[in-house]
Amino acid sequence: MKNPAAMMKIMGAMNKFKSNHPKLINFFQVVFSSGIPEGTVLEITVTKPGQEPMTANMKVLESDLELMEELKNMQM
């Protein structure tokens, strides 16, 4: 059985994140709404204050898509 108090805490944190970062949420909605096919390259850059940016990327594999599908199907 799920803990209702923990679920409420997570929902509150998610709502605050959405409020703080609406452009990021919209970006993810647009990018992921049509699906991510195998061969897509995902890239992320992190820039910490006073440091040089660090970038990493990955090419989406069939096994990645299978994992994402399994995670979507999990009961939360």
pLDDT one-digit tens code per residue, 53-75: 999 999 999 999 999 889 888 86
DSSP helix, strand, coil percent of the chain (3-state; round to 5): 55, 15, 30
How far apart (Å, rounded) are the C-alpha atoms in residues 12 and 14? 5
pTM (2 d.p.) = 0.68
Position 74 scores a pLDDT of: 81
The pLDDT of residue 75 is: 62
Domain residue spans of the chain: 1-34, 38-76
CA torsion sign, 52 to 54 to 20 to 11?
Answer: negative
Lowest mean pLDDT among 9-13, 48-52, 54-58: 9-13
More confident residue, 20 or 73: 20
Mean residue pLDDT across the chain: 91
| Through-space distance between the first and last CA atoms of the chain, rounded to whole angstroms | 10
